[in-house]
Structure 1
Amino acid sequence: MIQRIQTLYLVIVGLVAGILPFLFNLWIDGKGIEFFAQNELWISIAFYVSAVLAVISILMYKNRQNQFVVNRLNMILNLFLLGFFVYRSLSLSGEAMVSEKGIGMLIPVFSIVFLVLANRAIKKDEDLVKSVDRLR
């Protein structure tokens, strides 16, 4: 059903992945230039795909197993983004010219947390349905 708690979690993931990377900077390089998600095409595509996967998962409320799988794929995508951001933050120079890591680098972490919460709620619903089927 669409009024479940996992829908709220997935809406939050869709909003976080679809809007926040374009509002908050991901990092500031040594020259003081702020880097947003729209500056790099593949990063913006990855965030948009994550938001679209969350919306697709919301619409798959009748098939909980596929919803669970789509959320796992979304988690893997966010883990790749997080890995890239960690690699990028470690390769940013911070010696002579100070570079800063932006709050936007934490967006995949928030997405992963809410996806895990959504998957736990989906699993709980699936277990409830199985227990009711056993009683019949």
Structure 2
Amino acid sequence: MIQRIQSIFLFLVSILMGVTIFLPLWGKSDGTNRIEIDTMHMVELSSGEVVSEQTTVYLAIIAGLTALLALWNVFNFKNRRFQMKIGLFCTLLIAVFIAVEVFLTFQGQAAFAPEVGGNFAYGFFLPVGAILLNWMAIRAIKRDEDMVRSADRLR
């Protein structure tokens, strides 16, 4: 049923990953130089002029795919085993997203003035919340499946 707690968790995963697409992930500035990373590109600026630009559209694709899969998974309530498999795949996609975003921040940190620290933005932390919510949804789905199995044994 759609009103189960796992549906709320999956819906929140979808929202968090969808919002992540539009938020900045990381940034660093030392006065004249600046670097910004979001899900579309990583831009290094020097005195307001673009020094280098690298596309990170693959982050937006991973986040969008995860958001769509989590939203679709809300309506798979009749097949709990398949719902758990899709949930595990969403966890894998979110973990890949986090790994790539951490790699990009290390790459951005080394771009200029490594002694100057960067600032993590909201978009950096939303996938961590999404992976936790997804984990809680999978646990709730498993609990429902175990309850159905135990009821079948009583028949």
Residues 19-49 of structure 1: per-residue CA shift (max 9 Å, x gap): 2331x31011453343221332111111100
Partner of 1:129 in structure 2? 148
Partner of 2:67 in structure 1? 51
Partner of 1:28, secondary structure, is: strand
Partner of 2:58 in structure 1? 42
> What root-mean-square deviation, in Å, do the aligned CA atoms of Structure 1 and Structure 2 show?
1.7
Shift of 1:68: 0.2
Count of residue pairs brought into register by the alignment? 135
Partner of 2:34 in structure 1? 32
Identify the match of residue 86 of structure 1 among 102, 107, 120.
102
Higher helix share: 1
Partner of 1:119, secondary structure, is: helix
Identify the match of residue 114 of structure 1 among 127, 133, 145.
133
**What amino acid is the match of 1:78?**
I
Shift of 1:98: 4.8
Partner of 1:3, secondary structure, is: coil
**What amino acid is the match of 1:53?**
L
Question: Is the 2:20–2:127 contact (alpha carbons within 8 Å) kept by the matching residues of 1?
Answer: no
Identify the match of residue 67 of structure 1 among 83, 92, 95.
83
Percent same amino acid among aligned pairs?
31
Question: Is the 1:9–1:115 contact (alpha carbons within 8 Å) kept by the matching residues of 2?
Answer: yes
Question: Is the 1:21–1:107 contact (alpha carbons within 8 Å) kept by the matching residues of 2?
Answer: no
Given the two structures, how large is their TM-score scaled by the length of structure 1?
0.89
Cα distance in 2, alignment partners of residues 89 and 35 from structure 1 = 8
